[in-house]
Amino acid sequence: MNEPRARQLVARERARVESMLAELGGEIRAEGSLQRQQPGDSGDAGSALETESVTVALAADLREQLAAVGRAEERIARGVYGRSVESGIPIPDDRLEAEPLAERTIEEQRLYEQRGPN
């Protein structure tokens, strides 16, 4: 994949993730304000905790995606974007178009997910 296209794809991912994080941050502030203004019964407290847990998990996932964007940007700068971080073999352009932050080939990613990120 050529560098301008790689930069375009990764920049689009950065914008998407940062936008979602900003939106999630706004929701967290709004929910916090409502909870302080309208104390409810214990059922409401359980629901609020569940919502907060989901929000925290979403924020953590988005922060990991943002870290992946940073790693992709570093690979572009080093001239190794589009190559597996494990084997160095090229990642097909079709995969990068669909998943611009891909760090491994599909086969390597399957193995990575099976064994876990040791």
Q: Name 40's Cβ contacts closer than 8 Å, sequence gap at least 6.
A: 48
Integer CA distances (angstroms), 110 to 6, 102, 115, in order: 23, 12, 9
Q: pLDDT tens, 22-74?
A: 988 766 555 554 444 455 554 555 555 566 677 788 989 999 999 999 999 99
Q: What's the rounded Cα separation, in Å, for the pair 102 and 53?
A: 28
Q: What's the rounded Cα separation, in Å, for the pair 59 and 53?
A: 10
pTM of the model: 0.76
- Whole-number pLDDT of residue 94: 97
The pLDDT of residue 75 is above 90: yes
Q: What's the rounded Cα separation, in Å, for the pair 56 and 63?
A: 11
Domains and CATH numbers, the chain: 3-115 (1.20.120.910)
